[in-house]
Structure 1
Amino acid sequence: MKNNFGNMDTAIKAGELLMTEKPFAYVLSSKEKGFRCDNCLQKLKVLKCTGCQFVHYCGRLCQRDAWNEHKWECANLKRVAPKIIPDGARMLAKIINRLSRGDGYTYHAFYSPISFRMWKDLMSHYPDLKNDKKRMDHFTSLCVVLFEFLKDISLPNTVELMGMYGRMVINSFTILDTDMNSIGTGIYLASSIIDHSCSPNAVATFDGKTINIRAIKDMPNLDWNQIRISYIDLLKTPYERQTELLENYYFLCECDRCIDETQLKILHAAKCPNTKCDNPINIPWKENCELVRKPTIDNKDKQSKQNGVVSNEQNIDPKNPTENGDTVRDVTEIQCSTCGTKCTQKFMDVFKKAMEFTEMHLQNMKGTSVAYVDVCKFCLEKQEGVLHPLNVMHAQTLDHAFDALIQVQLWETACVYAERLIPCFRFYYGERHPLLGLLHLKYGKILLYKMDLHRALEQLKFSENILRITHGDRHPLYKDQLLPLLSQAMLES
């Protein structure tokens, strides 16, 4: 683990490395088993461990490097074979082993020359955990597995074990590959000091199992109390983000971005019927559709006459129900605040059906590794001319569609969707985010393949400006993937 700043008063520039750290404990995702090395996490040709026949290594160097951590697990995995140990149980077992046999209780992870974090410093949220039925059920199932798996280690008592489990689930980082896909989970003691914001000033990226924290905004000095990363995906409504944070981390996010009226007006907005106007219009489409959680109910009865609201529920007229049970305001009340164009009943009906159709299919695709090209295209056809270009459901559909089109190599349509997706990513992720840089990189690569050299070079330069800040010039994504493409585009153009 390394902190590059000895002087805490040093001004921080965007792109500077704040911290790099090896994991206290980690586990490769079971879905990557047989495809990646369990030590370096690289996607290479791998061979099974001759002992347990469960973990894989890319060579003897990685096998030797991992042996001190793997030797106890190897015997246990061999004993319970052919049973597969769940990722959560393996992770908790590794933590128990390090705490009982190694330096787990004394290990210091420094984030400044004199400040450090230890295992005991991690929050377990024990009271919240006890009231969380879903997690308690998960904990109980893990205990059953651990009792059979760890025959050679005396398990801690239930209270202590629950504290370990709480520290694990609250402080775990999802380890990402160069394409920002999840490949594992790790506990990083020093990095766990960083709090969440939906408008972060730093970003966590990974080089194998090593986490790197980099600034994405200029700061007057390095104050760890002010460093923020995002714990979750930001391409969601504030309500969805807040719900995810409450369920997983037990706090309600009240950052400026979650209550930003400008964004709230756009999240579920319709496009103005006037084709020359790009102003968002809020049309209630679903009963009790909340866009943001508020800690206190203030000014609930105060309804802005401007387009866009905190919750669609506030715009519902209970005296005017539609045939399927939802409610809408009188059509004469809904008009563009910029150009004055009124929304017809037909326009409102089309908008509502497009939103309902999109919501259903996004829910069906949620959690799946494959998005369906035809479904995405059908959703986008229904959204055309009705949903605002920055509507969050429109953005999510474009995101699914772009990835699906790349998988089936429909390059022409992928380019069309990439152009429409870039403004969405800028709006929801910000100007300096790894996913935006990766989008420009993928788009530029497609354009280069199509020999559209001028546009390819433009997109790759956009990507370079972002990834140099978020990943640094030594990261494999930057030096091994982006720079060769950028050099090729410059030479050929």
Structure 2
Amino acid sequence: MEELQASLQPRGLTLSTFPDKGRSLLAARDFYPGEVIISQEPYVCVPNNSLTESRCDGCFSKSNLKKCSACHVVWYCGSSCQKLEWKLHRLECQLLAKLDKERRKSVTPTIRMMVKLYLRRKLQNENVIPVTAMDNYNLVEALVSHMSDIDEKQLLLYAQMANLVNLILQLPNIDIKEIAENFSKFACNAHTICDSELRSLGTGLYPVISIINHSCLPNAVLVFEGRLAVVRAVQHIPKDSEVSISYVETAASTITRQKTLKEQYLFTCICVRCNKLGQYDDIQESAILEGYRCRDNGCSGFLLRESDEKGFVCQQCGLIRNKEEIRKIASDIKALSDKALKCSSSGNLQEAIVLYKNIEKLQKEVCHPFSIILMRTWEKLLEILMQLEEWKEALAICRLTIPVYERVYPGFHPLLGLQYYSCGKLEWLLGETDDAIKSFTKAVDILRITHGTSTPFMKELLMKLEEARVEASFKLSSREDS
């Protein structure tokens, strides 16, 4: 890793190893909010292609796609993306074209990524693709696989997938056990590639970015500019401090975050938030986020289960809420949620709205106003209302989410900035220009830190803010003239 260490030094970074975390990325100088800490192109990546949706292998676009005429698996939006990928796809194409039609259907994005991993290694070994300190297979070999922590069922699945990859590649001296181990590395180290609005586009392996450890209160954020992974500071990171990002949704209780991290990434988080597990503040926060509220609407207290389990006691006013009452409401919410999901999946959006509004009504009876469970229902309602172009109602719901977002996310979190952006777009569309300016300004204040200012997305946001200001100025001058 000496070459990597030397390559990181000019970037103001250094590698270190800790007994409880393994390899870590440390700041060798001060970093400030909005500053790019590190960026990396993927070693390999694939779009999230499915039977219903396809994307370009080069830029992940959905427009003007044409399928590769030889392998009938890969799509491109044009010749530039095809040329960009040709050295690697030329080999992949030959292999995929040999497969029969049924076998080709088994080539999922994850299988494709593994095939591309070994083909890229082959091309680098043959000097067809250049090797650098930040772009080589040794970095993949150094990633942690957690194979000893995986259950037998998962190991069997990896073995089956490895056999399929071996069948496709047909390379001499290939180690099926190594392929299986690399699948485990994908599960723990690959990143979901998102667009500027954090919508999933594909999956990529970024071996240097993967060195950055998780924190539930991170000092940096990972975003993507096309396929380029970019890590920016969202706090002042002093020299010799560890750089951290979040691997999971941080708007959750400590128990939920710990469970997700253990199941998906096979480690127990010991960050400053998780170290509060079991303390009164953490119990209170968990109850507000995912638990139940006092039955007195005038009380903002949270509930904890009594020791005899007969009910839940408000920790503020002492009122007891019957366990059966809560169980009945929770059961009704579950039944309605199942129906709503089916309706939205089948395109019956009007019926889905009715169901989600009924869910919202029931959740308000048992959930704290800052509950993330209630917030998720509002998010689903907002999504459907936007699809139906019910702009006024969508704005009302979007405004409900803002106070919850402000509470559950840190000040410089991209999701908070994007929610302000959504609010601003709806306000501007409905002629509420002054409110739109306020929302766009708040969005810019956050997203310029997390996204920078030079991407097409940010340029569009800044342009919208300027246009809204011009429109407001014109309206003001028109009123003054009249």
Quickly name the TM-score band, shorter chain normalised.
0.7 to 0.9
Name the residue aligned to 2:60.
Answer: 41
Change (3 A) 1:486 1:53: same
Change (3 A) 1:189 1:233: same
What TM-score results when the alignment is normalised by the length of structure 1?
0.80
Q: 1:30 aligns to what SS in structure 2?
A: coil
**Residues 166 and 176 of structure 2 are in contact (CA less than 8 Å); yes or no, is this contact kept in structure 1?**
no
**Residues 21 and 210 of structure 1 are in contact (CA less than 8 Å); yes or no, is this contact kept in structure 2?**
yes
Residue from 319, 324, 327 that aligns with 1:342:
319
Distance in 2 (CA, whole Å) between partners of 1:429 and 1:364 is 30
Q: 1:266 aligns to what SS in structure 2?
A: helix
Change (3 A) 1:435 1:365: farther
Residue 182 of structure 1 pairs with residue 200 of structure 2: yes
Tell me the CA shift for residue 86 of structure 1.
1.0
Name the residue aligned to 1:216.
Answer: 234
Matches within 5 A, 1:251-330: 251-258=267-274, 259=277, 260-277=282-299, 279-284=300-305, 315-317=306-308, 327-329=309-311
Residue from 361, 366, 377 that aligns with 1:397:
377
Name the residue aligned to 1:300.
Answer: none
Name the residue aligned to 2:86.
Answer: 67
Change (3 A) 1:254 1:374: farther
Name the residue aligned to 1:147.
Answer: 166
Tell me the CA shift for residue 171 of structure 1.
1.0
Distance in 2 (CA, whole Å) between partners of 1:464 and 1:235 is 22
Residue from 364, 367, 370 that aligns with 1:387:
367
Which of the pair is proportionally richer in helix? 2
**Residues 22 and 211 of structure 1 are in contact (CA less than 8 Å); yes or no, is this contact kept in structure 2?**
yes
Q: Deviations over 1:163-211 (max 9, x none)?
A: 2222222110111122212111111011011111111111111111110
Shifted more, 393-402 versus 445-454: the winner is 393-402
Aligned residue identity for 2:159? T
Distance in 2 (CA, whole Å) between partners of 1:271 and 1:265 is 8
Tell me the CA shift for residue 6 of structure 1.
4.0
Name the residue aligned to 2:144.
Answer: 123
Q: Deviations over 1:410-454 (max 9, x none)?
A: 222222221221122223222211111111111111111111111
Residue from 429, 447, 462 that aligns with 1:483:
462
Aligned residue identity for 1:399? E
Residue from 253, 259, 265 that aligns with 1:249:
265
Structure 1 portions without partners, runs of 5+: 285-314, 318-326
Name the residue aligned to 1:227.
Answer: 243
**Residues 444 and 457 of structure 1 are in contact (CA less than 8 Å); yes or no, is this contact kept in structure 2?**
yes
Distance in 2 (CA, whole Å) between partners of 1:230 and 1:23 is 19
Q: 2:50 aligns to what SS in structure 1?
A: helix
Distance in 1 (CA, whole Å) between partners of 2:399 and 2:126 is 49
After TM superposition, what 4+ stretches of structure 1 lie above 6 angstroms from structure 2? 1-4, 363-369
**Residues 29 and 87 of structure 1 are in contact (CA less than 8 Å); yes or no, is this contact kept in structure 2?**
yes
Name the residue aligned to 2:475.
Answer: none
Name the residue aligned to 2:443.
Answer: 463
Q: Deviations over 1:287-312 (max 9, x none)?
A: xxxxxxxxxxxxxxxxxxxxxxxxxx
Calculate the aligned-residue CA RMSD, in Å.
3.0
Structure 2 portions without partners, runs of 5+: 14-26, 473-482
Matches within 5 A, 1:99-178: 99-103=121-125, 107-110=131-134, 118-129=139-150, 132-151=151-170, 153-154=171-172, 156-178=174-196
Tell me the CA shift for residue 160 of structure 1.
2.1
Residue from 235, 240, 258 that aligns with 2:256:
240
Q: Deviations over 1:311-343 (max 9, x none)?
A: xxxx341xxxxxxxxx433x7xx3452xx3634
Residue 14 of structure 1 pairs with residue 33 of structure 2: yes
Change (3 A) 1:229 1:120: same
Tell me the CA shift for residue 110 of structure 1.
4.2
Residue from 333, 337, 343 that aligns with 1:358:
333
Tell me the CA shift for residue 155 of structure 1.
6.1
Distance in 2 (CA, whole Å) between partners of 1:390 and 1:357 is 21
Change (3 A) 1:377 1:155: farther
Distance in 1 (CA, whole Å) between partners of 2:143 and 2:342 is 29
Aligned residues: 436
**Residues 126 and 162 of structure 1 are in contact (CA less than 8 Å); yes or no, is this contact kept in structure 2?**
no
Name the residue aligned to 2:118.
Answer: 96
Tell me the CA shift for residue 109 of structure 1.
4.4
Change (3 A) 1:361 1:205: farther
Aligned residue identity for 2:470? L
Tell me the CA shift for residue 26 of structure 1.
0.8
Residue from 50, 57, 80 that aligns with 1:31:
50
Distance in 2 (CA, whole Å) between partners of 1:107 and 1:361 is 55
Distance in 2 (CA, whole Å) between partners of 1:69 and 1:426 is 45
Name the residue aligned to 2:407.
Answer: 427
Change (3 A) 1:12 1:363: farther
Tell me the CA shift for residue 269 of structure 1.
3.9
Q: Deviations over 1:194-237 (max 9, x none)?
A: 111111111111111110001111122264xx111111122333
Matches within 5 A, 1:189-200: 189-200=207-218
Q: Deviations over 1:29-60 (max 9, x none)?
A: 11398643211223432222233232122221
What TM-score results when the alignment is normalised by the length of structure 2?
0.82
Q: 2:11 aligns to what SS in structure 1?
A: coil
Distance in 2 (CA, whole Å) between partners of 1:188 and 1:104 is 22
Distance in 1 (CA, whole Å) between partners of 2:126 and 2:256 is 36
